[in-house]
Amino acid sequence: MSVTPPRSLVELFTGFLSIGARSFGGVLPWAYRVMVEERRWITVEDFTQTMGLCQFLPGPNVGNAAIVYGKRWFGVRGAVVAALGLFALPFTWVVALGAIYSDYASNPTLRAVVTGIGAAGAGFFIATAIKLARPLARKPAALVIIAGCFISVGIGRVSLAYVLPVAIAAALITSRMGRL
Amino acid sequence: MTLLEIALIFSLMSVISVGGLPAVMGEVQRIVVEQKAWVTAPEFVQLYAVGQAAPGPNVLIVSLIGWKVAGLVGALVALLAMITPAAIMTYWVSDVWDRFKDTAWRGVAQRAMAPLVVGLVGAGGFVLATPGSPDWRMWLIAALSACGMLFLQKLNPLWFLAAGGALGAVLL
Contact call for residues A48 and B114 (beta carbons, < 8 A) = yes
pLDDT at B23 over 70: no
pLDDT at B16 over 80: no
pLDDT tens, position by position, B71-86: 999 999 999 999 999 9
ipTM: 0.71
User: Which chain A residues have a beta carbon less than 8 Å from that of B120?
Assistant: 55, 149-150, 153
User: Which chain B residues have a beta carbon less than 8 Å from that of A60?
Assistant: 17, 20-21, 57-59, 83, 86
Q: What pLDDT score does A63 carry?
A: 94
CA A164 to chain centre: 17
Mutate to test the interface with A, among B46, B72, B83, B118 (most CBs of A within 10 A): B118
Alpha helices in chain B (DSSP H): 2-16, 25-29, 41-53, 61-99, 104-129, 136-151, 158-171
What does the mean pLDDT of chain B come to?
A: 84
Nearest CB to A98 within list B47, B112, B123: B47
Coil, strand or helix at B169: helix
CA distances from A114 to A26, A110, B127, B165 (A): 14, 6, 16, 6
Global pTM exceeds 0.90: no
* Record: contact B123-A149, CB cut-off 8 A: yes
pLDDT tens, position by position, A81-121: 999 999 999 999 999 988 888 788 778 888 788 788 878 88
* Record: contact A123-B160, CB cut-off 8 A: yes
Average pLDDT on A38-67 reads 88
User: Which chain B residues have a beta carbon less than 8 Å from that of A92?
Assistant: none
- The secondary structure of residue B60, as a DSSP letter, is G
What is the DSSP annotation of chain A? ------SSHHHHHHHHHHHHHH-BT-SHHHHHIIIIIIS--S-HHHHHHHHHHHHTSBS-HHHHHHHHHHHHHHHHHHHHHHHHHHHHHHHHHHHHHHHHHHHHTT-HHHHHHHHHHHHHHHHHHHHHHHHHHGGGTT-HHHHHHHHHHIIIIIIS---HHHHHHHHHHHHHHHHHTT--
pLDDT at B88 over 90: yes
Average pLDDT on B127-150 reads 87
Q: What pLDDT score does A116 carry?
A: 85
The most confident of the ranges A37-41, A52-56, B91-95 is A37-41
pLDDT tens, position by position, A128-138: 889 889 988 89
* Record: contact A58-B115, CB cut-off 8 A: no
Higher-confidence residue of B9 and A52: namely: B9
* Record: contact A53-B57, CB cut-off 8 A: no
pLDDT tens, position by position, B43-82: 776 777 678 778 888 789 899 999 999 999 999 999 999 9
> Cα–Cα distance between A154 and A148 in angstroms, integer?
10
> Cα–Cα distance between A54 and B87 in angstroms, integer?
10
pLDDT at A49 over 80: yes
What does the mean pLDDT of chain A come to?
A: 89
Average pLDDT on A48-70 reads 87
Q: What pLDDT score does B63 carry?
A: 94
pLDDT band, residue A159 (cuts 50/70/90): confident
Partners of A24 in the β-ladder = B55
What is the nearest CA distance from A95 to chain B, expressed in angstroms?
6
Q: What pLDDT score does A100 carry?
A: 87
